[in-house]
Amino acid sequence: MKTNRTYQIEPPKFRKAVHILIYLAKDGAFQSSATIACSVQSHATFLRRILALLANAGIVETREGREGGYGLKTSPDRISLAEVYMAVRGEEHDCAAAEAACEQTEMLDSAMDEIMLEADKRMQEFLQGYTLADLMETLTPK
């Protein structure tokens, strides 16, 4: 089933991050960003940005040199989708820094911020119940 991006609540990088992590989990070895990009059908530059976020969150490990690349820092059953989501969702926006055109816009922005913060919280709570290993099981033919 093809999804419409308009209805996706997760950050655009989330799906790609999960795809990357599953690829790394299946392979088990360190892979270059070019190899990963080819396997997950993504541009290497975009992929490196996601990998940097995952590395900063302690989900993936990086190694330099000829045998270097990216690999999982822990086993897939210890990586929750909530951790991945939080790693790639982006920085919180400082609403006070944005200039509102009028009072109604400020009120709407405030109301939407509260709604989206609650949605984000519930998304994290829901994703906490799933690991990469759980998702990998759905990919294994029975």
Q: Give the model confidence (pLDDT) of 100-114 as tens digits.
A: 445 656 676 777 788
Q: Give the model confidence (pLDDT) of 39-90 as tens digits.
A: 888 888 899 999 999 999 999 999 998 888 999 999 999 999 999 999 998 6
Instruction: Answer for the pair 84, 9: CB distance below 8 angstroms, yes or no.
Output: no
Residue 131 maps to a domain? yes
Q: What is the value of pTM for the model shown?
A: 0.66
Residue 134 maps to a domain? yes
Residue 2 maps to a domain? no
**Intra-chain end-to-end CA distance of the chain, in Å:** 21
CATH of the domain at 120: 1.10.10.10
Residue 3 maps to a domain? no
Instruction: Answer for the pair 18, 12: CB distance below 8 angstroms, yes or no.
Output: no
Instruction: Let me know how long the chain is.
Output: 142
| Element (DSSP H or E) covering residue 78 | none
Instruction: Answer for the pair 84, 14: CB distance below 8 angstroms, yes or no.
Output: yes
14 is in which domain, residue-wise?
8-139
How many domains are contained in the chain?
1
Residue 126 maps to a domain? yes
